[in-house]
Amino acid sequence: MSQTTAPQSVDASLNWLDDRLGSTTFMKRNLKKVFPDHWSFMLGEIALYSFIILLLTGTFLTLWFQPSMQEVVYNGSYTKLNGVKMSQAYASTLEISFDVRGGLLMRQIHHWAAVLFMASILAHMLRVFFTGAYRKPRELNWLIGIGMFTLGMLEGLFGYSLPDDLLSGTGLRITQGVTESIPLVGTYLYMFLFGGEFPGQDIVPRLFTIHVLLIPGLILGMVTAHMMIMWHQKHTAMPVKNQTEQQVYGYPFYPVFMAKTGAYFLFTFGVLALMGAFVQINPIWLFGPYDPGAISAGSQPDWYMGVLEGALRIMPNWEISAWGHTVSFNVLIPATVPLGIIFTGAAVWPFVEAWVTGDKRHHNVNTRPRNAPVRTATGMAAVTFYGMLWIAGANDVLADKFHLSMFGITWFFRVGIFIGPYLAFVITKRICLGLQRKDANIIGHGEESGIIMMSPDGRYSERHEPAREEKRVTILSKENTRPEAPAKDARGIPAPGSKGPLGHLRSRLNRAWTFDDIPVEEHEHGEHGEGGHGGVEGRESRPLSR
């Protein structure tokens, strides 16, 4: 059978490019790049797919949306609002929903894609945090991820503010209050942003430009940088057999990973299309156009903005006036402090951890969450803090549905945001240490087999068997805590960095990080249980009474 060759024109063109760009060598080298295989790695890819779908559907919606606050009288297909005065922004959104073919489907896919985009970024960041994948040399990618999540929150806020319906107008009113609460410059920023007294004529056109051009461009640049850095540094891997810090074990980019990622993109698009077709979201025609004198009960923002809503609802009414200025802490603190604590803490955590532990090594294999109890407990405390504020954003709905006192619920969350994270930290750390003890017991004594054996003297014991090879490799991937370097050498000279307040603080934090560590080590000569059978030593129980 003769070998098929490319046409001369194609072959000559490819050779011409290869002589100048070296593209063939580059493609051959990178198409065989190995990617580790684990289900949790798909969380970041779902965020990428959602962002692509957001760009495509957003482009469609841009063709019909009118970013204008000019007042018109509606006379369209939704007859219940005929004759009502509204902005062109709201009227064009109704037109997209009821008159443009496929418009409502595109609106709902776009909104669901935004929700999934934020959810997948958050889930991906939690996976990265709890497995320690942010450690050297991936600190920069961790910061890029935090930046993308922050920009995603702003993008979502500006996006659902564009239709100028009653719900989005209420959100803009809160934005105006937050901006105006900034000391000294708040009033100037508010007037600059809205172009005059609220709501003004300029806010929707400005938000439109930011929503469709500025923030998507920034996110696209961050996604590109994130992918390039990841491609250069290689993907982290879970602790499995044959996986080491120096060797990547997985499947090649082409054809395995390319086929899988293409299929997952189609799955993601299919799910979003089904949700857009059958699950209603943001029915702006039910809310009506924005009226500063009207309010709606039970209004809730998208989930990723719920933390700000909750902080605003449970914050006491604190204000101070001095030198002719009023500082509204009841608005300023909810808008800046909760997310400031979470995002700032997340941004500095990789560097604080490296400083406390003294670990400056490159890490390519992830850590099991149980093997870093302080990190895992801190992460769960942050999740609890975020979750408590998120649920507090629905205090009125909770009071209505469960027939409870709204003031009681509010005070519950005011106390809970302090007690909840502390309890989450303590409980999570104890669970991690308990799982470490279980792993150490499996390596030292084997796994329970469920087989009960009786000795000649009437004692009963359970036969233990060595752990499976895959499980042993996973358990033994734990790095036992290294002892801290002594503060002084043999001649009594203090070590660099051990003196002063920072040195003492680092030493205390290092002890807190390593104090409860449970060593997991493999024994060279395991003992056998009673009765032989090649098992590991069994656990003995009292004989039955006779």
Higher pLDDT, 16 or 352: 352
Structure-token pair, residue 215: 């923030």
pLDDT of residue 183: 84
Q: Give me the pLDDT at residue 61, please.
A: 96
Question: What's the confidence (pLDDT) of residue 484?
Answer: 61
Give the mean pLDDT of 88-114: 96
How much is the pLDDT for 110?
97
Of 414, 152, 117, nearest to 305 by C-alpha is 152
Residue 305 contacts residue 392 (beta carbons within 8 Å): no
pLDDT for res 538? 43
Per the CB < 8 A criterion, the answer to whether 236 and 133 are in contact is yes
The structure's pTM equals: 0.86
Among 238, 231, 219, residue whose Cα is nearest residue 114: 219
Residue 9: predicted pLDDT: 62
Helix (H) or strand (E) holding 72: strand 71-73
Residue 455 has pLDDT above 90, yes or no: no
Please state the rounded mean pLDDT for residues 285-310: 84
The answer, yes or no, to whether residue 18 has pLDDT greater than 90, is no
Residues 34-49: what's their mean pLDDT?
Answer: 88
Kindly indicate the confidence band of residue 3, based on its pLDDT and cuts at 50, 70 and 90: very low
Residue 190 has what pLDDT?
87
Is pLDDT at 432 greater than 50 in this prediction? yes
For residue 443, the model assigns a pLDDT of 87
Summarize the confidence of residues 421-443 as an average pLDDT: 94
Banded model confidence at residue 539, pLDDT cuts 50, 70, 90: very low
Token couple for 169: 């107008």
- Specify the higher pLDDT residue, 488 or 188: 188
Question: Which has more confidence, 199 or 372?
Answer: 372
Beta bridge partner(s), residue 78? none
pLDDT-based confidence at 477, cuts 50/70/90?
confident
pLDDT tens column, 503-537:
778 888 888 888 888 888 776 544 444 333 344 44
- Residue 294: pLDDT above 80? no
329-357 and 166-180 helices, crossing angle to 10°: 80
Q: Calculate what percentage of the chain has a pLDDT beyond 90.
A: 48
CA pair distance 167, 288, nearest whole angstrom = 9
Per-residue pLDDT at 525: 47
**What mean pLDDT do residues 24-44 have?**
78
pLDDT for the residue numbered 88:
95
Place of tokens 């400031």: 340
pLDDT at 360: 87
Q: Average per-residue pLDDT in the chain?
A: 85
Burial class (CB in 10 A: 0-12, 13-18, 19+), 100: middle
Is 225's pLDDT higher than 60?
Answer: yes
What does the pLDDT read at residue 35? Answer: 79
Percent of the chain exceeding pLDDT 70 equals 87
Q: For 259-279, what is each residue's pLDDT tens digit?
A: 888 999 999 999 999 999 999
- Residue 139 class from Cβ within 10 Å (0-12 exposed, 13-18 middle, 19+ buried)? middle
pLDDT recorded at residue 194: 87
User: Would you call the peptide bond into 486 cis, given omega within 30 degrees of 0 as the criterion?
Assistant: no
Which of 48-57, 116-125, 229-238 has the least mean pLDDT?
A: 229-238
Q: In the CATH scheme, what is the code of domain 36-243+250-308? A: 1.20.810.10
